[in-house]
Amino acid sequence: MGGVSIPASSIEVPSRVRALARGAALTPVWRNSLGGLTFRTDDGRYIKWGPHDAEANMRDEAERMRWARRWLPVPDVLEQGQDAEHEWLVTAALPASSAVDPRWAAKPEVAVRAVGRGLRALHDALPVAECPWGWSTAERIANAAERGTLVPVELHAEPPIDSLVVCHGDACLPNTLLDDDGEPAGFVDLAALGVADRWADIAVASMSTLWNYGPGWEDTLIEAYGVEPDRERLEYYRRLWNES
């Protein structure tokens, strides 16, 4: 799923976002590779807005957030909608900040370990038997094909399942929120949440340490999760992520 960056404070605010803000002051927080924007309001909300995304839409995200909220600290969905060109999602803010917030830049080990523990807590908390969505290799390959992306044939055969869990689906560091003590306190961006081998999440979460904190932290995250690195599964699921 596309990368994110922090937009300039002078960015033009879409009219839909202004309407959803209902007079609240807006601070831009994220811009993704598709041009989607996320804003924080001064009355405790986040407004996510952007073009339709065939890979991960906000309707699916809202549905999964409402479901996961029964077991996990997930933002409350306040509004969700779409028009012909764009979609939007409004959620209540949690008392926490992203694991890649500037406040954690000087404490990468704290953040990386918290994300590892948080991912394990997510896998332990969400009930596989009650989850109505899948994120299996076959489903991901089919979804990629619908978007015109052909996954290399050697990736169609996945390693034997190690442990079936409800995966986050986009377990990159920015999507775990930490409290003031550096402990995992919430999860966001759940549009792809579904049942799969836990290594599908672990591979991406550990790989994302390279993007956000540089080399040297991949195994730290896996250790904090509570398992030994499985190099074969890590390589496979990272390739699947990059190719789909």
- Does residue 170 have an active-site annotation? yes
For 4-92, the fitting CATH number among 3.30.70.980, 3.30.950.10, 3.80.30.20, 3.30.200.20 is 3.30.200.20
CA dihedral 232, 238, 243, 244 (to 10 degrees): 110
Common-topology check for domains 4-92 and 97-243:
no
Categorize the per-residue pLDDT at 6 as very low, low, confident or very high, splitting at 50, 70 and 90: low
The two structure tokens encoding residue 238: 């990272």
Tell me the domain boundaries of the chain: 4-92, 97-243
Tell me the average pLDDT across 176-201.
97
pTM for the model stands at 0.92
pLDDT one-digit tens code per residue, 89-127? 999 999 999 999 999 988 999 999 999 999 999 999 999
Q: By percentage, how much of the chain surpasses pLDDT 90?
A: 90
CATH of domain 97-243: 3.90.1200.10
pLDDT at 8: 55
Categorize the per-residue pLDDT at 7 as very low, low, confident or very high, splitting at 50, 70 and 90: low
pLDDT one-digit tens code per residue, 196-240? 999 999 999 999 999 999 999 999 999 999 999 999 999 999 999
How many other C-beta atoms are found inside a 10 Å radius of the C-beta of residue 51? 11
> Of the candidates 194, 210, 215, which has an alpha carbon nearest to the alpha carbon of residue 242?
210
**Position 1 pLDDT exceeds 80:** no
pLDDT one-digit tens code per residue, 51-82? 998 888 999 999 999 999 999 999 999 999 99
- From 170, 189, 197, 201, active-site residue: 170
**Position 3 pLDDT exceeds 80:** no
Residues 6+ apart with CB under 8 A from 19: none
Q: What value does the mean pLDDT of the chain take? A: 94
Distance from C-alpha of 119 to C-alpha of 234, rounded to nearest angstrom: 15
